[in-house]
């Protein structure tokens, strides 16, 4: 059996080669993406026990070990110490670290990095076999159990009543996943206000989705494969509301680089501002965070299409600091409680007042 450190060296070399291979091929070949996605899941299965050992069991072991050292120092009696704690700490670190580091290297260099560097990385994770393939299905059925959508509709509908009074409501959801919620919202608005509703949903990842349909007062349109950034090219009229649950704003604010985060979120906000009617609103999720449940659900959702709480923080958590600085464009209000909380980001009419004055 080779020394753990030798194994680690070879694992890192392999991870780098695999990472380069994936980086060059992921975009073009669907079959390679399937292999990549399956490897990602297999690696996640390995990573969780390693994370559990490193973050929980290992510190616990060290704590007890220190406790026993104190007992030995005070009593001079080795027989009070349990056998696993005779192990020398340095040996244990020598043994564990290379294997844990090897797994991390595969996870980060070979798997996370290539997709992360590619613009298509997010898209790939929501595809069939992708790490987040089941996100939409699991989240929707969880929210159905909670009666989430009817509750949240009650929170934002009052903001649309004046628009309905003008004879029509137009909404867009550029990161709609399967478009199921958007379809329901459109029908709920038409039933409630008894006016024609135009709702456009789209998503850049390939997946089963609601089809375009005209029914009663609702004109529902689903555009598959559309990048939210290209929304200005396909929308011919400004909309009254933008539904963006863990979508475009969330992803633009998801980067470790705080400058990039601010720049990208600002650009997304400015794009949304240009697509909205005066007084129009952006609706984002703002559920109150429950970190332990979140981590647990993030693990569950990687393997089965079911969960019992959100597996990630809210959009509001991620973008609040940037939005609050853009009081020139929007004002923000929170509505609802706990898991039903949403943020209503309303476009200012100051611009209009200025234009009218001129």
Tell me which residues touch ligand SAM (CB under 6 A).
Answer: 122-123, 126, 135-136, 139, 174-177, 181, 203-205, 227-229, 245-248, 251
Distance in Å, CB of 66 to ligand SAM, minimum: 43
Closest listed residue to residue 334, CA positions, set 287, 300, 293, 296: 287
Q: Which residues pair with 335 in a beta bridge?
A: 342
CB atoms within 10 A of CB 113: 18
Distance in Å, CB of 72 to ligand SAM, minimum: 52
Q: Which is nearer to ligand SAM, 102 or 136 (CB)?
A: 136
Whole-angstrom distance, CA of residue 174 vs CA of residue 233: 12
Contact 247, 285 (CB under 8 A): no
Query: Distances from the Cα of 86 to the Cαs of 69, 71, 241, in angstroms?
Result: 10, 13, 65
Distance in Å, CB of 168 to ligand SAM, minimum: 23
Distance in Å, CB of 226 to ligand SAM, minimum: 6
Considering only the C-alpha atoms of the chain, give the largest distance between any 2 of them, rounded to a whole number of Å: 89
Q: Which is nearer to ligand SAM, 100 or 235 (CB)?
A: 235
Distance in Å, CB of 213 to ligand SAM, minimum: 19
Distance in Å, CB of 203 to ligand SAM, minimum: 5
Q: Which is nearer to ligand SAM, 4 or 121 (CB)?
A: 121
Query: How, if at all, do strands 169-173 and 197-203 pair?
Result: parallel
Distance in Å, CB of 325 to ligand SAM, minimum: 22
Handedness of CA 74, 75, 78, 82 (dihedral sign): negative
Cα end-to-end span (Å), the chain = 81
The DSSP-derived string for 70-136 is HHHHHH--GGGS-GGGGS-HHHHHHHHHHHHHHHHHIIIIIIIHHHHHSTTHHHHHHSTTSTTTTHH
Q: Which is nearer to ligand SAM, 109 or 245 (CB)?
A: 245
Q: What contacts 24+ positions apart, CB below 8 Å, involve 255-261?
A: 261/322
Whole-angstrom distance, CA of residue 106 vs CA of residue 43: 8
């Amino acid at each position: 059996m080779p020394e753990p450190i030798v194994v680690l060296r070879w694992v890192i070399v392999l991870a780098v080669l695999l990472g380069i291979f994936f980086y060059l091929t992921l975009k073009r070949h669907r079959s390679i993406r399937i292999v990549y996605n399956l490897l990602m899941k297999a690696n996640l299965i390995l990573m969780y026990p390693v994370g559990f050992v490193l973050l929980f069991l290992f510190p616990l072991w060290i704590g007890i070990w220190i406790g026993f050292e104190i007992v030995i120092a005070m009593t001079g009696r080795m027989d009070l110490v349990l056998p696993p704690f005779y192990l020398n700490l340095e040996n244990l670190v020598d043994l564990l670290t290379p294997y844990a580091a090897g797994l991390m290297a595969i996870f980060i260099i070979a798997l996370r990095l290539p997709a992360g560097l590619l613009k298509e990385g997010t898209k790939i994770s929501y595809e069939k076999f992708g790490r987040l393939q089941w996100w939409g299905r699991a989240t929707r059925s969880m929210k159905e159990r909670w009666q989430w959508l009817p509750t949240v509709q009650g929170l934002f509908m009052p903001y649309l009543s004046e628009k309905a009074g003008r004879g029509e409501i137009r909404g867009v959801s550029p990161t709609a996943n399967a478009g199921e919620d958007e379809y329901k919202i459109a029908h709920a608005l038409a039933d409630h206000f008894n006016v024609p509703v135009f709702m456009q949903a789209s998503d850049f990842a390939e997946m089963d989705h609601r089809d375009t349909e005209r029914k009663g007062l609702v004109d529902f349109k689903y555009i598959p494969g559309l990048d939210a950034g290209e929304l200005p090219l396909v929308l011919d009229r400004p909309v009254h509301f933008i539904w963006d649950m863990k979508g475009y704003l969330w992803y633009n604010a998801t980067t470790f680089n705080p400058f990039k985060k601010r720049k990208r979120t600002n650009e997304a906000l400015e794009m949304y501002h240009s697509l909205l009617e005066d007084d129009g609103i952006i609706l984002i999720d703002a559920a109150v965070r429950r970190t332990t449940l979140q981590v647990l659900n993030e693990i569950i959702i990687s393997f089965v299409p079911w969960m019992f709480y959100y597996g990630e923080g809210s959009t509001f958590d991620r973008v609040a600091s940037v939005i609050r600085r853009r009081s020139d464009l929007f004002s923000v209000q929170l509505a609802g409680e706990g898991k039903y909380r949403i943020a209503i980001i309303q476009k200012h009419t100051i611009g209009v007042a200025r234009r009218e004055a001129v």
